[in-house]
């Protein structure tokens, strides 16, 4: 699918969220500025979290949002290795009662559950993004 704006990316996230349930892990891959966090805003807002509450956890590594289902938003960009992810309890989140959304998942590839859903968000123009769902 192709998004022509930030608002469309958020809407795509809302629509995608209809497929999610507690225990799911969503991996978002894409370049810096591709729209991963905007997509997360859509997912979180579907579960009752205000869009303005959602921000990139680049420096905190994880943001937790309390909606009708807990949302755990990871940004693994700054992680040096998988051990650092284990130290913040990544696996407990992945196998818990919320929905885990992971930006830069390739940094912790061996920890990602095999049933995780992978999405790639790519720049295809100044404001256009392509969102591709990969099969697990």
What predicted TM-score, i.e. pTM, was given to this entire model?
A: 0.92
- Give me the pLDDT at residue 98, please: 96
Total domain count for the chain? 1
2-3/25-30 β-pairing: unpaired
DSSP letter for each residue of 5-73 = SHHHHHHHHHHHHTT--TT-EEEEEE-TTSSHHHHHHHHHHHTT--GGG----TTTSEEEE-SSS-EEE
Where residue 116 sits, what CATH number does that domain have?
Answer: 3.40.50.300
- Give me the pLDDT at residue 93, please: 94
Q: Look up the domain containing 44 and give its range.
A: 2-134
pLDDT mean by block of 10 residues, the chain; 136 residues: 92 96 95 90 97 84 94 92 91 94 93 95 90 80
Query: Is 101 in a helix, a strand, or coil?
Result: strand
Name the residue among 28, 38, 32, 29 with its Cα closest to residue 4. Answer: 38
Centroid of chain to Cα 44 = 10
DSSP state of 78: T
């Amino acid at each position: 699918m192709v998004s022509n704006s930030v608002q469309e990316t958020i809407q795509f996230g809302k629509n995608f969220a209809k497929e999610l349930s507690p225990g799911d892990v969503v991996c978002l891959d894409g370049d810096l500025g591709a729209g991963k966090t905007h997509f997360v805003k859509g997912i979180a807002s579907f579960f009752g979290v205000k869009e303005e509450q959602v921000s990139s956890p680049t420096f905190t590594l994880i943001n937790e949002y309390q909606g009708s289902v807990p949302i755990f938003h990871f940004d693994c960009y700054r992680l040096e290795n998988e051990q650092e992810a284990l130290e913040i309890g990544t696996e407990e989140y992945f196998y818990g009662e919320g929905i885990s959304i992971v930006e830069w998942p390739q940094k912790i590839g061996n920890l990602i559950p095999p049933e995780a859903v992978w999405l790639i968000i790519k720049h295809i123009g100044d404001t256009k993004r392509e969102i591709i769902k990969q099969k697990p």
